[in-house]
Amino acid sequence: MTQRVRVQCFTVTSNGIGAGEDQDHERPFGHVDPKDLMAWRFATGTWMNHSDAGTRGIDDYIERDYARGIGAEIMGRNKFGPIRGEWPDHEWQGWWGDEPPFHTPVFVLTHYPRPSFTLADTTFHFLQASPHDALEQAKTAAGDNDVRIGGGVTTVRAFLDAGLVDEMHVAVAPYEVSRGLQLWTHPDELTDRFHLERVPSSSGIVHHFFWRR
Amino acid sequence: MTQRVRVQCFTVTSNGIGAGEDQDHERPFGHVDPKDLMAWRFATGTWMNHSDAGTRGIDDYIERDYARGIGAEIMGRNKFGPIRGEWPDHEWQGWWGDEPPFHTPVFVLTHYPRPSFTLADTTFHFLQASPHDALEQAKTAAGDNDVRIGGGVTTVRAFLDAGLVDEMHVAVAPYEVSRGLQLWTHPDELTDRFHLERVPSSSGIVHHFFWRR
């Protein structure tokens, strides 16, 4: 099976915004509330650990696939944390507590070196590298599995612009916000390079599936 | 995680027919051609072993989930083969050749006993049992995984009527046939017991997701 580079469950507003402004230690998405943006994920049976209260329709099928066959993640530094510039110390270990939800090696792109560390079954590595070189390392770490480009917006854009993404799922939420980091002006910008299938869900989300032409 | 009983990728025509008449050794679906009925599955990247020619949209997401987390299958005797009544011998070993696509124990419901046998990583067991009792055995065999009710129509109906199905995905193809085994007159018949979400795919299929109320 070919090793693939995938974006999964990446959620933006109807005007393409995937994160707000003014990120700080309490607000990983800045002024955009993830409880609104990601409401579709939180309602699924899979997210709710298979509680009967969770939905089991199309949103859940997609949520189930988030981690499936993924052997490594690449993320931007701003997905890892709100600190900019030199690390003042190594106290910040991400937003996720003692058991991060990745369960694989994670490669954090940053201009500021820092030693790797492990929390439960996730090891964070810090790389100053081009998308291409970071991907080589992540592919090796992933073994036979795929590599997920985990975001944020800037990182997904960098990998798209470098032509390194094989497959991308973006969930478009049914509301706008006025400012923030924009993944696209319109998804059709990508159809020269990707097939695009749009699938509306009863949650109000429109799932956008892209795969290479 | 709760062990679930699931129907996956079960395909019917727009008038609910899941298999034709006049099944024989060459035609597992009788006069209905599976190349038409199942065209949506055959076009997916997953079915095509991740060939780049395959689709990677919603149909593929669903195809990917066919085997995921499944630890045993229950099927009716007519899914296993075209022989009726007593087994003349044990030569018939299913439609699937030396490497059946199940990769788990498979429980075949039949009134005619026969010894278990193994092909590659699939073992077929033959049970004269009620849906409830067969399910108990399949659940034990599945360990922590789910049980798939694999069909055909009569077997899916028997498990639905016994209230034993937790979750069901049915793909409705965009054409009718005039005769055959009918899963339902209309899917809304099941909405007293199940949530139902309908999701149209660009392949022409309408995916129907049912999960318990």
One digit per residue, the tens of pLDDT, for chain A of length 213 reads 689 999 999 999 999 999 999 999 999 999 999 999 999 999 999 998 877 789 999 999 999 999 999 999 999 999 999 999 999 999 999 999 999 999 999 999 999 999 999 999 999 999 999 999 999 999 999 999 999 999 999 999 999 999 999 999 999 999 999 999 999 999 999 999 999 999 999 999 999 999 999
Which residue type is seen at A198? R
B36: left (phi > 0), else alpha (psi -120 to 50), else beta?
A: alpha
Closest CA to B167 of B68, B24, B80, B86: B68
Rounded distance between C-alpha atoms, residue B53 and residue B43, angstroms: 8
Task: Using the predicted structure, report yes or no on whether residue B192 has a pLDDT greater than 80.
Answer: yes
Question: Which neighbouring-strand residues pair with A147?
Answer: A5, A72
B58 touches chain A (CB under 8 A): yes
Using CA atoms of B63, B142, B151, B65 in order, give the dihedral in degrees to the nearest 10: -10
Indicate yes or no: CB of B49 within 8 angstroms of CB of A197.
Answer: no
pLDDT, tens digit (0-9, with 9 covering 90-100), for B65-84: 999 999 999 999 999 999 99
Which residue type is seen at A79? K
Task: Using the predicted structure, report yes or no on whether residue B105 has a pLDDT greater than 70.
Answer: yes
Where are the domains positioned within chain A? 5-82+100-212
Q: What is the mean pLDDT of chain B?
A: 95
- Secondary structure element (H or E) that encloses residue B79, with its range: helix B77-80
Closest CA to B106 of B69, B143, B137, B145: B137
Q: Residue A35, exposed/middle/buried by CB under 10 A (0-12, 13-18, 19+)?
A: exposed
pLDDT of residue A1: 60
Question: Which A residues 158-177 touch B at CB under 8 Å?
Answer: 167
Task: Using the predicted structure, report yes or no on whether residue B32 has a pLDDT greater than 80.
Answer: yes
Rounded distance between C-alpha atoms, residue B198 and residue A14, angstroms: 22
Which CATH architecture group holds A5-82+100-212? Answer: 3-Layer(aba) Sandwich (3.40)
| Distance set, CA B34 to CA B28, B38, B71, B152, B187 (Å) | 8, 5, 25, 13, 21
Quickly state the pLDDT bin for B1 (edges 50, 70, 90). low
Rounded distance between C-alpha atoms, residue A150 and residue A160, angstroms: 12
Closest residue in B to A8 (Cα–Cα): B61
Q: Which of A2, A49, A197 sits opposite B58 (nearest CB)?
A: A197
Q: Look at the block and give the residue holding tokens 């077997």.
A: B155
Class of domain B5-83+101-212: alpha beta
Closest residue in B to A202 (Cα–Cα): B197
Q: How many other C-beta atoms are found inside a 10 Å radius of the C-beta of residue B176?
A: 10
Q: How many other C-beta atoms are found inside a 10 Å radius of the C-beta of residue B84?
A: 9
B61 neighbourhood in chain A, CB within 8 Å: 61-62, 65, 209
Q: In the predicted model, what is the mean pLDDT of residues B193-209?
A: 96
Asked whether B30 and B179 are in contact (CB, 8 A), the reply is: no
